[in-house]
Structure 1
Amino acid sequence: MSIEQLAETAQAMVAPGKGIIAIDESNATIKKRFDGVGIECTEENRRAYRELLLTTPRLGEHISGAILFDETLRQSTRDGVPFTKVMTDNGIIPGIKVDKGTHALAGFPGEVVTEGLDGLRARLEEYYKLGARFAKWRAVINIGETIPSGSCIDANAHALARYAALCQEQGLVPMVEPEVIMDGGHDIDECYQVTEVTLRSLFASLYEQNVMLEGTILKASMVLPGTTSGEKASVEEVAAATLQCLKSTVPATLPGIVFLSGGQSDQDATAHLDAMNRMGPNPWPLSFSYGRAMQSAALKLWSQDLVGNVGKAQETVFARARDNGLAALGQWKA
């Protein structure tokens, strides 16, 4: 695929007022979510839940793409329509999570590196044939007394860059996600410093691996105080710090940035995104790629009646998509 085609897909992913819904939980992760609301984690229940999300009426008005798990990319609706067809018929671009999760980084206690590069070329080729047009890889950066180390940051940045190059070779837009974890006692200034160093390392690695930024999307974490820091930053403080960090590290040639919610409340994730867009104009579109912040209310409703509450659950999915779509324009009202 040419860079023009990759760039076209990337631009569509961050179209005005639209964002990405992340429904790429592994079976182990979605089991935890299901356990929390008393749903048995069977293949059929997973399929039915993803169908509920993807068939939400008018979802394409505010959702440009969806990140799927391997199992979901291969599934169909109860009536036998492949999920990828449901998505493309509604203007939603299919995406796929391709990393194999985090593992301990040898020699660096408390730090992790994401694995999954082995055999990735063949998997990406198959995913493209199955209908995926973008992919996602998540790296995890923890903050502690003596971490993160430069070695951990660079190892994860290098893996993200190699993954991105392989994606573009196979015609998929890479979404690169270097998540600076919210857990910890760090203040907002330390989060800023770690995020800045992480992004500088990432874009240096992308350049070294000949990744075309015009066909790449950044999935970024916001600059926030740690959950156990006792510090509460205002919406404006978070928005300003995040924007300043991005402007100092992210090239303007990037088609767009989408944010992860990263453990924030639904309301906070939307408010922070809205504030950043109100502070614009910015060098790139700023949108969302939320998982729990898009789904949590729907999952609770659905768990109470797996058949009777589908419509009610879909109404909450659409409402969250609409609110975040407005926030991506700086037009959301609490």
Structure 2
Amino acid sequence: MSLSNLEIVARYLAAPGKGILAADESTGTIGKRLEKMGLKNDEETRRSYRELLLTSAIGGSISGVILFKETLYQSTESGKTFVKCLVDQGVYPGIKVDEGLQPLEGGLEGETWTKGLENLAAMCAEYAKVGAKFAKWRATIKIQPGGPSEKAILQNADELAQYAKICQGAGLVPIVEPEILIDGDHTIGRSQEVTEKVLAATMAALWRHGVQLEACLLKPQMVLPGAECSDPKPSAEDIAKHTLTALRRTIPPALPGVMFLSGGQTEEEATVNLDAINRMARTTEPGCPWSLSFSFGRALQHSVLKFWSSDQSKGLDVQQLLMSLARANGLASRGQYTGPHPTSAEGSASLYEGFRGWRADQITS
């Protein structure tokens, strides 16, 4: 795929009012969630659950779905490939290509690098042949006393850039994910400071490696305080202000989209905060040149999985819940979300037509 075509894919993924469903949990990660819900972690259970997700009518609010390798090659019970299920409703299939986190030698305690560059070119070429249009690679940065270390910031930035360049060479749009972990007692101000440092290093590495930003997307966290921070909980407007300040200081306008991850937030918090970011972006100078949308995993799936595990006969109702969550976040990506949230008690009655059989108490965390 030419770079001009990659730019078209990147802009499509970041289209106004749409976002990305992250359904790329590894076998171990999805297994923990299934087992917590009382379900077996076997291939058929994983396939059945992901069939439920990928055959939902999500195309109105979802532009792409990140898949795990196993899922990319699977099909529905009737034999239709999951790739075709997505393409038929105008949703681009994507693929997680990193091979997980490894301890960073010479770094601080808990710092990591991401495995997977060695065979990445060959794997990306294979995934593109199967139908993948984009890819995702996750790196993590930990805030702690004396850290993150320069080694962790620079090595992860460089690996993200190498991955992005390889993806573009294979015809895949890269989603670059330098996630700053929420673990710790750091303030929101400290989180913004580290976010700026990490994003600046990542953008510099992308430039050094010749990555075309117009054919690339960024997947950062919103700027949040650490989970153990003793300060009062910030408002959605505070989170929006810190997040936008960090982005405006570090991200070039050539990048078409910033697709936030939802880590550390409840489903409703992720939606409300995304909406606040977009409202503020439209009403404060100097504006924002990029789409500000979502690439949510648990914020789109947690309640869906919990509902499905409680009664697998209610597949249509579970799909309606997923569509409702996607729609709420699609509105938030335009700054037009007004609630109630699908996971709230009021949500079942007011936001979604044709939602049958759902009881809020079935999915409350």
Residue of structure 1 equivalent to 2:326 = 321
Aligned to 1:138: 138
What SS does structure 1 have at the residue aligned with 2:198? helix
Residue 352 of structure 2 is matched in structure 1 by none
Q: Write the distance in 2 (CA, Å) between the matches of 1:142 and 1:309.
A: 40
> What is the root-mean-square deviation in Å for CA atoms of aligned residues?
0.7
2:118 pairs with 1:118: yes
Summarize deviations over 1:170-210 as a string: whole Å, max 9, x none. 11000000000011100001100111000010000000000
TM-score (norm 2): 0.90
Q: Does structure 2 conserve the Cα–Cα contact (< 8 Å) formed by 1:276 and 1:330? A: yes
Post-superposition, which runs of at least 4 consecutive aligned residues in structure 1 deviate over 2 A? none
Deviation string 1:40-79 (CA, Å, 9 cap, x unpaired) is 111000000000001113x100000000000000000000
Higher relative contact order (CA 8 A, sep 6+): 1
Kindly state the Cα deviation for residue 230 of structure 1 after the two structures are TM-superposed. Answer: 2.2
Does the CA contact (< 8 Å) of 1:113 and 1:156 recur in 2?
Answer: yes
State the 1:159 CA deviation. Answer: 0.4
Would the aligned equivalents of 1:111 and 1:147 in 2 still touch at CA under 8 Å? no
Q: How many percent of aligned residue pairs carry the same amino acid? A: 50
The answer to whether residue 135 in structure 2 is matched with residue 149 in structure 1 is no
Of residues 315, 338, 347, the one that matches 1:310 is 315
What's the CA shift string for 1:3-41, capped at 9, x where partnerless?
Answer: 210100000001110000000000000011111111111
Q: Following the alignment from structure 1 to structure 2, what is the Cα–Cα distance between the partners of residues 2 and 312? A: 41
Partner Cα distance (1:301, 1:204) in 2: 43
In 1, distance between residues paired with 2:297 and 2:77? 23
Residue in structure 2 matched with residue 203 of structure 1 by the alignment: 203
Residue 60 of structure 1 aligns to a residue whose secondary structure is coil
2:215 equivalent in structure 1: 215
Give the gaps of 5 or more residues in structure 1.
Answer: none
- The residue identity in structure 2 corresponding to 1:11 is R
Amino acid at match of 1:38: G
* Deviation (angstroms), 1:143: 0.8
Counterpart CA distance in 1 for 2:110 and 2:48 is 37
- CA deviation after TM superposition for structure 1 residue 260, in Å: 0.1
Indicate the residue corresponding to 2:13 in structure 1.
13
> 1:111-130: per-residue Cα shift (whole Å, max 9, x none)?
11111001100000000001
TM-score (norm 1): 0.98
In the other structure, the counterpart of 1:271 is 272
Structure 1 residue 315: Cα displacement:
1.1
Cα offset, 1:313, TM superposition: 1.0
CA displacement 1:149-185 (0-9 Å, x = unmatched): 0110000000000000000001100000000001110
Query: Counterpart in 1 of 2:187?
Result: 187
Aligned to 2:229: 229
Match of 1:283 among 289, 294, 310: 289
| Whole-angstrom distance in 2 between the partners of 1:258 and 1:287 | 5
Look up the match of 1:30: 30
| Contact 1:141 1:153 (C-alpha < 8 Å) held by counterparts | yes
Q: How many angstroms does 1:220 deviate by? A: 1.0
Query: Which moves more between the two structures, 105-114 or 165-174?
Result: 105-114
Partners of 2:188 and 2:225 within 8 A in 1: yes
Following superposition, the deviation at residue 280 of structure 1 comes to 2.4
Q: Secondary structure at 2:138's aligned position in 1?
A: strand
Q: How many Å separate the matches in 2 of 1:210 and 1:203?
A: 11
The answer as to whether partners of 2:227 and 2:264 remain within 8 angstroms in 1 is no
